[in-house]
Amino acid sequence: MNRLTKILLTVFCALYAVTTFAQVVPPDKRGRVDAERDGFHDAANIRTIFRNYGQVGHYPDDPGRVDLSVFHSVEVPKGSGMNYSDGITPFVLAKIKQENGPESHIMETGFRERQGTSPIRNRFMRFEPRPGFFQADPGINKGRSPAISNDPRTWPDAWPDKATDPDDPGWRGSWNGYFGKRPAADQESFTVMDDDFYDAWDYFPDSRDRTRRGLGLRIEVRGFQWANPQAQNVIFWHYDITNEGTTDYNENIIFGIYMDSGVGGSALSCDGFFESDDDNAFYNDSLGLNLVYTWDNLGHGAALGNRCYPAGYLGYAYLETPGKPLDDVDNDDDGITNEKRDAGPGELILGQGAIRAKMLALRYDLTKFELANGKLDSRPAYRAGQCVDWR
């Protein structure tokens, strides 16, 4: 298959929710280095290492002599040894005002290198995983993996975020899935991390707790793979970011994805140089696609037993991100204005005629709405509030 037809698409679905006045998290329940774990997504045609401090993919310690039979960094197709990335991480950038006066910017990531060093504790400042969201006993979790749906040995004895469930406290013995206790994807990973290691600024995001540092954020990360042929070349990542502190960042915070391209892997190819060194990138924003894509300059990569393996494209796209909740603007061009992630289920309205009338009263653009969601009359919708909830 040639490089013009072999197109790989990796889609990142990002949700960014800012809430305030969450329960204070004690220091021993926050992110820590000894909770770091590596795992693999391999349920479809993409196989990749991921780390529970936010990084997907990696860069080998010895790039020129990497063992491609065991090193998999967005490897496609699975088993070929053909890698496409040197590492991917979410980032959050915010403007803050330090207590000693000056305004500053904090940029937080979960990457393998070039992280700042704490002047207080002499450690890397990056996202770190919280304990309790994976099986910590190496006698059970022999691969020391983050929690992943198809391997119950990686699940904790009880899930910390489900401890207050009145019907099943801790969800013991069950998967903690985005869609509930039963995995809906062929493979779903779940990790939780925070930004408590970012302590180089005279800044404290939570007025109730002077030990909390960073921006006071918790990040829940889920990876999804489906083995269906239509989705086999796609891996989905869902980021749910919550402000656990008391500081409201208003317009002074953004979310994004950092990608270190590595189309063709890191080893020496038939082109005569190491393949991570000749990549290109571009973007396409036509028809609402908003796709960033990367490719190898000469179309080759170093794979298992083949130093001239044909290289394809790797793409990155946001499926959905939140807009400004109360600006009367349709931020994502789906016909709905003033959408909020924390608005609750919305007002109960019975009947599609009543739903249509409510949407018109809210000044939704029905043409755009139906292009994005399907015909209103054919959907069993019953709730409408800040957004429409299909049931």
The string of pLDDT tens digits covering residues 304-345 is: 999 999 999 999 988 777 777 778 888 777 888 877 766 665
Residue of 178, 50, 182 whose CA lies nearest to 112: 50
pLDDT given at position 391: 42
Question: Do 280 and 337 reside in the same domain of the chain?
Answer: no
In a domain, 114, yes or no: yes
In a domain, 354, yes or no: yes
In a domain, 42, yes or no: yes
* Lowest-confidence segment of 43-47, 207-211, 286-290 by average pLDDT: 286-290
Domain final position from 291, 318, 345: 318
Pairing of strands 38-41, 48-51: antiparallel
pLDDT given at position 381: 54
Burial class (CB in 10 A: 0-12, 13-18, 19+), 125: buried
Question: Do 156 and 12 reside in the same domain of the chain?
Answer: yes
Question: Do 255 and 106 reside in the same domain of the chain?
Answer: yes
Alpha-carbon distance of 142 to 183, in angstroms, equals: 22
The string of pLDDT tens digits covering residues 85-110 is: 999 999 999 999 999 989 999 999 99
Alpha-carbon distance of 206 to 24, in angstroms, equals: 9
In a domain, 2, yes or no: no
The confidence band for 37, taking pLDDT boundaries of 50, 70 and 90, is very high
Question: Do 225 and 153 reside in the same domain of the chain?
Answer: yes
In a domain, 253, yes or no: yes
In a domain, 146, yes or no: yes
If one counts the domains in the chain, the total is 2
Strand runs (DSSP E) across 157-196, as ranges?
Answer: 187-194
Domain final position from 254, 287, 318: 318
Question: Do 70 and 162 reside in the same domain of the chain?
Answer: yes
pLDDT given at position 4: 36
Alpha-carbon distance of 383 to 349, in angstroms, equals: 6
Question: Do 137 and 255 reside in the same domain of the chain?
Answer: yes
Is residue 283 predicted with pLDDT exceeding 60? yes
- 355 is in which domain, residue-wise? 324-391
* Mean pLDDT over each residue of the chain, to the nearest integer: 88
Question: Do 52 and 69 reside in the same domain of the chain?
Answer: yes
Phi, psi (rounded to 5 degrees) for 150: -85, 5
Is residue 386 predicted with pLDDT exceeding 90? no
Question: Do 13 and 138 reside in the same domain of the chain?
Answer: yes
In a domain, 219, yes or no: yes
Question: Do 306 and 332 reside in the same domain of the chain?
Answer: no
Domain final position from 318, 341, 356: 318
Is residue 130 predicted with pLDDT exceeding 60? yes
Q: What is the percent of the chain where pLDDT is above 90?
A: 69
The string of pLDDT tens digits covering residues 232-252 is: 999 999 999 999 999 999 889
Whole-model pTM? 0.88
Pairing of strands 236-243, 7-16: parallel
pLDDT given at position 258: 93
Question: Do 253 and 384 reside in the same domain of the chain?
Answer: no
The confidence band for 1, taking pLDDT boundaries of 50, 70 and 90, is very low
The CB-based long-range contact list for 340-347 (8 Å cut-off, 24+ gap) reads 340/386, 340/387, 341/15, 341/16, 341/17, 342/17, 342/19, 343/385, 343/386, 343/387, 344/385, 345/383, 345/385, 345/389, 346/383, 346/384, 346/385, 346/386, 346/387, 346/388, 346/389, 347/383, 347/384, 347/385
In a domain, 1, yes or no: no
How many angstroms from the chain centroid is the CA of residue 319? 11
Amino acid sitting at position 68? L
Question: Do 351 and 248 reside in the same domain of the chain?
Answer: no
The CB-based long-range contact list for 372-381 (8 Å cut-off, 24+ gap) reads 372/333, 372/334, 372/335, 373/334, 376/352, 377/352, 379/352, 381/352, 381/355
Alpha-carbon distance of 116 to 113, in angstroms, equals: 9
Question: Do 271 and 347 reside in the same domain of the chain?
Answer: no
